[in-house]
Chains A and B, each alone.
Chain A
Amino acid sequence: MSHAWVNSVMPHLVLTVGLMVLLLVVAFRRSHALAMTSTFLILVIAGALIPQSLAAGSEEVFGLIRVDGYGQFFSGLFLLAAIVTVLISFRYLDHRASSCEEFYMLVLTATLGAMVMAVASHFATLILGLEILSISLYAMICYPQEGRLPLEAATKYLVLSGVASTTMLFGMALIYAASGSLSFSALGQPVDSQSENYYWLGQGMLIVGLAFKLSLVPFHMWTPDVYQGAPAPVTGFIATVSKGAVFAALLRYSVISDVLSNASVVLGISIIAVGSMVAGNLLALLEKNIKRILAFSSIAHVGYLLIALLVVAALDDPGVARETMMVYLAGYFLMTLAAFSVISALSISAKGQDSEQLADYRGLFWRHPLLAAVLTTAALSLAGIPLTMGFIAKFYLFAAGVQGALWILLWALVIGSAIGIYYYLRIVFTMTQSETTEGSTRTYAAPMETVVTAGVLGAALILFGVYPTPLIELVRGLIGAFGA
């Protein structure tokens, strides 16, 4: 036993210690560049330690967390998203906040919370991780001091996220009352028939709480406002890390606790999935604001992803579900981050609001071909067109759905994607059009590090879209060697 567990949670520890180091750094010397660089280094070191944390083998630590390939894959993704967020926030914040150093601490705490969720195997760690993540996000959303929208978004998120958390807690309490355990693996079936009702009510409330965090229909109302109000880099972070963390935890929980053996739960989740796919895509059609479009598109995407979750119920082997979830989320992370890095790059010097109206993107192809190409790749990827990672991701969903014989969900996926193409194309089309004479005279002093980040993300989307073999190999290796 000895100290093997220390190795296993080393990435988490590095983040925690790094957080304190950053606190000291800021206390001694207030420098935006220094804070940014230290954060970047901390994140990179934590990421570099992930392979080592797996070397010890699948490790149960204190019965609270379980460090395995599946969880650490997501930890890696969260770190990647955090690195991107740090890089694209730097200049963005420079123009908007008087003291920016604390923002990076929030990024670190939020990432830590998400990483805890990815390896949580106990309700205590799950709720702990979720709250660390959410509370950091409230502050991140309203970090810029100008404008009313960030504050409104943060308040909205605070209230609704709080409601969701309490619903979850209540659900957990009921489950505990019925089954006498808080650990996923010991949940099992309720002790007697009387407590069975509590048990399933608790499960229901837990799922509703998570659905709030995932912004699934009908719990999605907050999403467009928060996406619009939050600063563009933070929106990218919310869209990826907070959703990814909840999904990672949800799938682990569903596989271990066998909650999907209940037909009504499966039916309920299926209805939510179809609703999200259809409503998300339809509502996106009405928007002219690119951040709101992406908000609705994310609702549709989490709806698609529920297919991966439901495959657990349909197949004996959870490996298919895990693999699909991992590949899809990896793709979703890359494309969403790519889109938001372009939006951030173009919003740097915009006063007040971000460059978020579609009209702001007119003629981008001719003004800044690289950024336009990245945004096009991201949009086509979100639409699931070949040559991009999004197609591989959608291919995985189709393959998983066919294996699980989830025909109705697959039809919803087809219809949802079909509607989706329209608004993704509209973004692309706008960029190809010549600039109008009036308005839209924004100057785009896109900073180097943001443009490079966007370029790398765009290249990765195409690379994995054309040659996904290494990614599939990695995912299979992680599941095979360290399956939960």
Chain B
Amino acid sequence: MSGAEKIAVKVTDIVPLNELVTRFKFERVDGGLLPTFSGGAHTVVELRDGAITRLNPYSLMSDPMDQRAYTISVRRDDAGRGGSLFMHNNVRLGDELTISYPVNLFSLDLRAKKHLFIAGGIGITPFLAQIKQLELFNGNWELHYSCRSPDLGSYVDELTGRHPNEAHIYYDDQKQAIDLVRLLDGQPLGTHVYVCGPKGMIDWVRATAAAEGWPREAIHYEEFLAPKPGKPFEVKLAVSNKVIHVGEDESLLEAMEREGVDAPYLCRGGACGQCETDVIDYAGKFIHRDHWLDEAEHSSGKKIMPCVSRFEGKTLVLDR
């Protein structure tokens, strides 16, 4: 079976935080302890939505050393593919779910002298766990968190209450914005910047830090891509000897799984590289959407990341 190892959990708390975000708490069905994790880790939650199995990654936001329970916060996305809506509308207290062992693709670089966190909206969740981890070691950190309005500012009160000197909040509806150039200017040598939020924010922070002469190794970001819908297409899987159809609303990875092909994966969001697949033959064009392959690999026609990328054309043969 592909993906990280699985854990059977029970939903033991559901807390709506505001109009868009709800927090879920998971404990092991067998009453045992969960593995510890490192701040920035996510778990993949399996959701059985009728005939469809959805596998959605969510950042763990609880204390990484607390083995009794994991918590995640889910932002409802009405225009999304339905995973977050299913969590909001169908998951009930006491439900049993399967989640994966924690996987961290957004870990702290503990060589940093200072950690500068920049969060947008629900992008706050990995930082909640990282802050708890750093507090254990009296780490040097600072958070700049941008949200739409006080009503939608998830965990703002908790952050400003516990960390009045480290947490800085910006509300869009009050025309408050992070003055990024000023914020980056004058940070002590050895500072690492971490950004999690909408794509525009990630691109802005990466580009601004690079322009200010920050080394690439000191700029960290996490963006989960949900697979985007697209035109249906057919794929021949050479190893499995199957021709499968990828529907409009499912990813290539999901189509392979539906057909019983055990394809490797971890993040399901174009970031980790686990699902990298060799292309044997093709006639058409790739729609690459991952952060894993570089530009040369994207244009080579030799590789595809089935979790988020698609294909348009006549023939696609994969080594799977």
> Are A and B co-members of a single complex?
no
